[in-house]
Chain A
């Protein structure tokens, strides 16, 4: 098992490398530089800045330097937020993103699976259709639309929840962002679960279980659930990167200091260091997640273990 995990991690190093290289050069291909702005700088100053950030060296040299630093765990300076290194900023933003993202992740899994199971149990019944429609709405409405609507409704009309901000991580502040972030994933997961559950319920071993006189509950929980979860689990990997996509929006609208926003701003500001930093960071996140997914597979299906 550990052996396996270790290999997986090793095998992702080339992945990381490719991604970083790609970003590095793609980014430099893009027009505009970190120091272009409303007010153009005097040449002399531009040169000084360039020198300060090694931008005066050849692209390849810069690339080598960057990789070199990266190997020593140094993500380099931020071109824009000059008082912090990239690493520092990521570390500051990390907890927020992780908390919001993690809770959204958890919420979508729990709600999604429950909804899916209900849907499949009452297949084509009233609950199924109700859930189904709600789910679909969540699936089709873009989160940058849902967010302001919720803000208006819960924040301004009902005045139940704060409209935005971190508020020291008070639950009330977190609710809305988490919900907005989770909504589409609740939808996807419940759809997956429903489909899978219906399929599993048709399988022979469920018939056996019923012939053994087990109650509906224990059939679903003991026998049907695990196999049902397989497709859900395989969705978790992609879900991570979807969550990232979402966090870009959510953090902007709710004014949360997470790292989701960083990437957009960094890309727009040509903050090369920051962009690469976020990419590296997210890749590692996703890789780890996929690793967990594989381990979950093994847990769900003993046949994988022995294969």
Chain B
């Protein structure tokens, strides 16, 4: 269903973009064609560096001046590339407008929201301040920003991420443009907010017939939003067609690979209904069933990971039950006694609080980043920890590794309390427990060759080794993590993100740890790399009988790798259960919101899904009473900083107290429209 040129709002032909860089000429975009029709939503998918953004920045004439552009960019018959800046300015922001990835940096920090919005109207429509203000107000309301009037006089940094992006959208829509280009509009946002923003954009598009170009790397988002998809790679379109074509009958290898690589959770079309009580439950929802319904899933080999999972879950109940029911009833817990043989890590009522300054002279207040968390980890098992930004998951990881001094609570490593370890024993522990970080580049010392970085742990833990021996060990590990030995003398900035992350993992593995904590280990990577790294981790776990704690904001990734999943909200656990159990019958409203918000790379299913929307956005941990967000009914009688108690609702399925979902959900708006077929 190719659009023919005449009805196209934007018609790009044979666009080429070259960059003059210090290291020679780089061809970012190679002769691409794009057409968008009015009211249509075109998805442009591709991995980082595929040139998907450059294409449209070029079209808008927003590229840095070291770029050279050739080709035609017809917007309603005008070739934008031939326009002078003045003429172009008459179009930008008025008839074509753009939304960018990071709403914080994309808004001018020192201008009030009102000022930034109004200047658009004043430039393009010579509008008086009063009218302009009116219009802005109205648009802020259209994008459902509470107390719009007040926002106008606020600065960007005073708004939450989601709000900023709403402002961006409102600003982009002010002149009701024919074309809206959204460049990764939700990538920087939490999944629940992403869901809302996407809905909003969809809404606007339908209400105003604006053509939308959605640039993203997330197949799920595409599946949800777009009529047509163009898949981009190395500056070229490898495949394009309607959503369904691309998703269900991908032609090009790359597209297939992309789709395969995306980890996908199984979801029932409607999470809203109350899950069945545990007794009449015939176990978690059968995995294979859903898999049938989705052919794509076959590629995903279930062998080892599943096996390992089986192993874990079988071993779990005992320890967990005792451990956590104890925790639940708040009775004191004896590390030695109830510990099952293969429980290697035991965390109890762990708390980390930071003093924070607010305002120039306000007294310090405590930020309770981790607020009484407890769980057990068995040898060889993988625990996933999910939470949105500010939920304290990274802090938790560091507290466990004693990189941060916990404020209170116990971390028990194989029968030893870490909190009261001496430097020596701590060294031993460090040898046992390693961490892999989010940003592959930032986690390697730029002034060291990757070889040295990997060798460093050896220097510390096995001082005996001589140089050769170390090099041999490093080489071995490099091969193991799939790094060519040739890279040993390279520096991080010379390697790709994937390679760097492998280095990071290799370094972590050098000391042959028993526990590996992955803090957003794949979040910064493209899906294809992401998949490979996940795979690598699974293999390593298998080979060395590692226990993994896998921390991520991305539910689907966690789902991909974990056997059990712990859902965090503002530093405390809201739900903890085996993976399948959690997805089959999520209990806590927050969990259910999360699950329902995760976009699935499957147009039909995705658009059929029903989303749960809860009042308000993710609150900051500083906010008083934020912890009672899911317990409004008892706000009155409970102390303001009360942490809802965790209780075992089904075997090995722990849920924090909460009000029934219905009382929390927002006025339901109709499910996203089915895509035209």
Contacts and interface: CB of A to CB of B under 8 A. Distances in A.
Contact of A213 (B94, B105, B109): B94
Given A211-B92, A214-B123, A302 B105 contact: no
A209 interface: yes
Contacts of B91: 213
Interface stretch (A72-80, A95-103, A221-229): A221-229
A213 B124 contact: yes
Nearest to B61: A210
A204 B105 CA distance: 6
Nearest to A215: B89
B355 to A, nearest CB: 15
A205 B107 contact: yes
Query: Which of the four size classes fits the interface of chain A?
Result: 20 to 34
A306 B98 contact: no
Interface in A175-231: 202-205, 207-216, 218, 222-223, 226-227
Query: Which one of A208, A223, A227 has the greatest number of beta carbons of chain B within 10 Å?
Result: A208
Contact of B92 (A213, A216, A303): A213
B420 interface: no
Contacts of B301: none
B97 A222 contact: no
Contact of A303 (B90, B98, B155): B155
Contacts of A222: 108, 111, 119
Interface string B78-94: 00000001101111111
Contacts of B105: 203-205
Contacts of B124: 213
Contacts of A215: 86, 89, 123
B110 interface: yes
Given A204-B102, A207-B106, A212 B93 contact: yes
A301 interface: yes
A210 B123 CA distance: 12
A47 to B, nearest CB: 55
A302 B97 contact: no
Chain A contact surface mostly:
helix
Contacts of A207: 57, 62, 100, 106
Contacts of B107: 205, 208
Contacts of B280: none
B359 A306 contact: yes
A226 B357 CA distance: 26
B207 interface: no
A213 B62 CA distance: 10
Nearest to A224: B108
A4 interface: yes
A22 to B, nearest CB: 30
Interface string B355-384: 001011100000000000000000000000
B119 A212 contact: yes
Nearest to B110: A226
B120 interface: yes
A82 interface: no
A39 interface: no
A306 B92 contact: no
A306 B64 contact: no
B543 interface: no
A227 B361 CA distance: 24
A300 interface: yes
B578 to A, nearest CB: 42
B158 interface: yes
Contacts of A303: 109, 155, 157
B139 to A, nearest CB: 14
B597 interface: no
Interface string A158-170: 0000000000000
Contact of A3 (B57, B98, B106, B361): B361
B171 interface: yes
A307 interface: yes
Given A202-B64, A213-B124, 14 more contacts: A4-B361, A203-B105, A204-B105, A205-B107, A207-B57, A210-B92, A211-B62, A211-B98, A212-B171, A213-B94, A226-B110, A302-B110, A303-B155, A307-B357
The 9 closest A-B pairs by CB, nearest first: A213-B92, A213-B93, A212-B93, A204-B105, A213-B89, A211-B98, A302-B155, A205-B108, A226-B110
